[in-house]
């Protein structure tokens, strides 16, 4: 029986985004604070996903062996290092989160049956790499606080209460929403970036966080005057808002995950098919899970 197992590891390291072929002003413009000398550091958290058949002992792999491989090939070399100098690969392509994940895959692939390398630079930024050449995924996590009422405008209070329960109460209720935006793209062979991170953060702030934060969604966001602001509909609307500006940055919106509470979350996957894409004609991404 096929099974995927995951092993966690961690390392602390510093890095700097700086291209010697650019002037100081050009580096600052491209990389912002990340270009500052002598660099900055992170406590990286690494998840290695492995696949295989269950053996007679109920294991895919001996995780003790996996631990030693990860330590030998990766963490012992990167822990307390300056990443730009740690591996030769980072002389050619800068040690961004997505590129570090790619190189870790290359280092581990000869030794382990990998299916994914996931690297957290910090809790609000992480990358996923699945072995597809220069293709990677980058996720930004952010949040906003808002109130809403679940009530269809064409139904009576009694009908809405029957459908939505306490969430239909006329004065609404609030949530601290957590939002995860995942983009997909090709890692630039020189900068190591699949997208300008500062620009991506700005797009998410401009199109979602600032307009949504501290609002009553039903009244302050015109779209929700007629559309019930369930978590699913909010995530779908956010995906509509973000797809085009992210595409203008040279990446593709892959997933929007909205966490309404510790008990409720939903995910919208934006596919390449015409029926599930977002465009000026109003096509929608697919609702994957709730």
Catalytic residue positions, numbered: 167, 214, 260
Look at the alpha carbons of 8, 180, 32, 243 in this order and tell me if their dihedral is positive or negative: positive
Contact 135, 74 (CB under 8 A): no
CB 152 within 8 A of CB 221: no
Closest to 71 (Cα-Cα) out of 114, 113, 116, 10: 10
Say how many C-beta atoms besides its own lie within 10 A of residue 106's C-beta.
Answer: 15
CB 41 within 8 A of CB 81: no
Terminal alpha carbon distance of the chain: 27
139, two tokens: 């996720």
């Amino acid at each position: 029986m096929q099974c995927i197992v995951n092993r966690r590891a961690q390392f602390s390291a510093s890095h700097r985004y700086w291209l010697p072929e650019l002037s100081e002003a050009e580096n600052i413009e491209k990389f912002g604070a990340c270009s500052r000398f002598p660099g900055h550091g992170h406590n990286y958290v690494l998840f290695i996903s492995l696949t295989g058949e269950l053996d007679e002992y109920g294991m895919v792999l001996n995780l003790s062996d996996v631990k030693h491989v990860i330590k030998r090939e990766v963490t012992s070399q990167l822990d307390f290092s300056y990443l730009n100098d740690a591996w030769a690969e980072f002389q050619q392509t800068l040690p961004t989160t997505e590129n570090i994940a790619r190189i870790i895959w290359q280092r581990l692939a000869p030794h382990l049956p990998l299916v994914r390398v996931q690297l957290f630079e910090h809790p609000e930024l992480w990358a996923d790499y699945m072995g597809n050449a220069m293709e990677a995924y980058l996720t930004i996590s952010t949040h906003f606080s808002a109130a809403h009422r679940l009530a269809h405008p064409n139904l009576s209070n009694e009908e809405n209460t029957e459908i939505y329960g306490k969430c239909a109460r006329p004065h609404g209720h609030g949530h601290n929403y957590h939002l995860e935006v995942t983009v997909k793209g090709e890692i630039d062979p020189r900068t190591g970036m699949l997208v300008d991170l500062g620009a991506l953060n700005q797009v998410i702030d401009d199109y979602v966080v600032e307009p949504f934060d501290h609002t009553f969604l039903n009244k302050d966001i015109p779209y929700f005057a007629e559309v019930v602001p369930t978590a699913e509909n909010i995530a779908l609307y956010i995906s509509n808002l973000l797809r085009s500006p992210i595409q203008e940055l040279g990446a593709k919106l892959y997933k929007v995950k909205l966490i309404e509470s510790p008990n409720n979350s939903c995910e919208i996957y934006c596919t390449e098919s015409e029926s599930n894409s977002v465009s000026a004609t109003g096509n929608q991404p697919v609702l994957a899970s709730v």
